[in-house]
């Protein structure tokens, strides 16, 4: 069969075909264009032989280098060694191909028959074509999909690090030098994806940068100081938000920046946008505490203060809805609530929301966060009526929670008022004496 010269400039190397009968495969002749001269292709008369698969013989192995390594760049045929290994304990079905260039640095390119393309199902058959110009014969042999090897670069001795003899060159290298050498070899022979991942890891570590190391040490020291401060304040033991027992003002007693982080403020703009747009905020979607105070936003002239108060309202809403979401009596009112992903992830971690119900300890901690924010919303003089309804608690039980935070509850004209005196004074546990 004649082939168009313009369509056959590249040498025919592989084809997909079905085995022919023995009587036809030796007699059929085709005209194949071989690339002898890029400017003037030549036509070659060749005999095509389709060799069927033989279960007693292993089919050809095909390997490729995703790193871009080309073993044909060196004209010396002995410059690269190729080895094929078979797994004895797996019935001989697993193969491993190892390509080793005889040059520094020492790197092996390893591919296995149970990874890469072998993981995918064999949906079609493959063939490899080899043109012998001397005999003018084109041999086509089948290739199994699990015999296509992705040859990944592996540094020699990396898996046995620390087991080198004392006199070896690798053993004499320092840890930093070995890490630097592995990094250079990885950037030279690794895939693009692995190189990107390695660069990200190096950026995070920054072991060789003194300035970055100093910054990292400062961050670690700051975390240690913060943990020591929190431990000395004892808010974890008291199951309350972070506090400062020696504060001289109520705003400093429970620092707001330790309750709502800087990154969270931008995700708390829902009530602010609704109030600016004139939309109605109903108790169907928001707690009664928020609905009864949202009118305060229109009375605040300063935009920053108005935005800050609306964010506190939003945070209270998310806390109350999160509590309802993990309770039997409030689940229906919270199942349609939309949490910002960052806020919900923080709540799930802080309150250990691993099941449908919160533990008693974590439920009390969540209530403490809500009550502290109600103090901020009402300038540290609030009532318990509406927030008790939102939390589905009695006034007596809620009063105990406020007192645990160091608050003082006073009653005048049948109205209970909660204030926060400073410095904080927490109630002491009274023990009854036993009569002897």
pLDDT of residue 321: 92
The confidence score (pLDDT) of residue 114 equals 74
Q: What pLDDT is stored for residue 286 in this prediction?
A: 92
Contacts of 195 (CB under 8 A, 6+ apart): 186, 187
DSSP 109-125: EEEETTSGGGGS---S-
- Regarding whether 250 and 113 lie in a shared domain, the answer is no
pLDDT at residue 327 in the model: 86
Domain assignment of residue 43, yes or no:
yes
Whether residue 116 sits in one domain with residue 190:
no
DSSP secondary structure code for residue 72 in this structure: G
Residue 212 lies in a domain: no
Please write the tens of the pLDDT for every residue from 278-287.
788 888 889 9
- Considering the domain architecture, whether residues 149 and 179 belong to the same structural domain is answered as no
One domain for residues 251 and 340: yes
Give the length of the chain: 436
> Domain check: are 268 and 406 in the same one?
yes
Please indicate, yes or no, whether residues 320 and 254 belong to a single structural domain of this protein: yes
Same structural domain, 132 and 175: no
* Percent residues over pLDDT 90 in the chain: 28
Res 12: pLDDT:
36
pLDDT reported for residue 420: 95
**Quick check: is 433 in a domain?**
no
Q: Is 46 inside any structural domain? A: yes
Residues of the chain with pLDDT below 70 are 1-41, 55, 75, 77, 89-93, 103-105, 115-124, 145-146, 157-176, 178, 189, 204-237, 355, 429-436
Residues 179 and 84 in one domain: no
Q: Give me the residue label for tokens 């109350």.
A: 320
In a domain, residue 428? The reply is: no
Q: What is the pLDDT of residues 202-242, one digit of tens each?
A: 776 655 455 555 555 555 555 445 444 444 444 455 789 99
DSSP codes joined into one string, 129-171: EEEETTTTEEEEEEE-GGGEEE-EEEETTSTTTT-S-TTSHHH
Does some domain include residue 229?
no
Are 173 and 261 contained in the same domain?
Answer: no
Domain tally, the chain? 3
User: In this structure, are 115 and 253 located in the same domain?
Assistant: no
Kindly state whether residues 45 and 175 are assigned to the same domain: no
Q: Is 264 inside a domain boundary? A: yes
User: Is 211 a domain residue?
Assistant: no
Range of the domain at 197: 169-205
pTM of the model: 0.48
Q: What are the start-end ranges of the H helices in 326-359?
A: 331-334, 341-350
Do 178 and 146 reside in the same domain of the chain?
A: no
């Amino acid at each position: 069969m004649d082939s168009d010269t313009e369509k056959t400039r590249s040498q025919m190397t592989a084809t997909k075909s079905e085995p022919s009968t023995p009587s036809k495969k030796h007699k059929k002749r085709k005209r194949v264009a071989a690339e002898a001269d890029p400017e003037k292709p030549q036509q070659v008369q060749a005999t095509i032989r389709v060799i069927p698969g033989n279960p007693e013989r292993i089919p050809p192995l095909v390997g490729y280098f995703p790193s871009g390594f080309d073993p044909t760049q060196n004209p010396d045929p002995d410059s690269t060694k190729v080895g094929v290994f078979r797994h004895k304990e797996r019935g001989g079905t697993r193969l491993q191909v190892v390509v080793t260039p005889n040059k520094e640095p020492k790197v092996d390119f390893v591919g296995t028959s149970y990874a890469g393309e072998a993981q995918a199902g064999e949906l079609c058959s493959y063939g490899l074509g080899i043109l012998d110009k001397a005999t003018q014969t084109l041999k086509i042999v089948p290739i199994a999909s699990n015999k296509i090897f992705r040859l990944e670069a592996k540094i020699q001795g990396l898996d046995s690090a620390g087991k080198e003899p004392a006199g070896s060159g690798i053993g004499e290298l320092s840890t930093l030098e070995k890490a630097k050498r592995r990094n250079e070899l990885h950037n030279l022979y690794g895939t693009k994806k692995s190189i990107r991942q390695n660069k990200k890891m190096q950026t995070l570590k920054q072991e060789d940068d003194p300035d970055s190391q100093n910054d990292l040490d400062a961050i670690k020291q700051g975390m240690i100081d913060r943990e020591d401060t929190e431990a000395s304040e004892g808010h974890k033991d008291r199951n309350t938000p972070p506090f400062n027992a020696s504060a001289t003002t109520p705003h400093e007693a429970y620092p707001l920046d330790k309750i709502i982080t800087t990154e969270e403020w931008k995700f708390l703009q829902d009530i602010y946008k609704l109030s600016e747009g004139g939309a109605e905020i109903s108790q169907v979607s928001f707690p009664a505490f928020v609905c009864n105070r949202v009118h305060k936003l229109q009375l605040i002239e300063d935009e920053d203060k108005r935005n800050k108060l609306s964010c506190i309202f939003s945070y209270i809403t998310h806390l109350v809805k999160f509590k309802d979401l993990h309770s039997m009596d409030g689940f229906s009112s919270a199942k349609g609530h939309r949490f910002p992903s960052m806020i919900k992830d923080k709540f799930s971690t802080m309150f250990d929301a691993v099941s449908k119900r919160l533990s008693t300890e974590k439920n009390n901690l969540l209530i403490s966060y809500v009550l502290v924010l109600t103090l901020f919303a009402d300038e540290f003089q609030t009532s318990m009526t509406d927030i008790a309804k939102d939390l589905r608690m009695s006034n007596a039980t809620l009063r105990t929670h406020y007192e645990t935070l160091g608050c003082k509850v006073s009653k005048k004209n049948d109205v209970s008022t909660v204030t926060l005196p400073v410095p904080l004074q927490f109630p002491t546990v009274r023990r009854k004496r036993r009569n002897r």
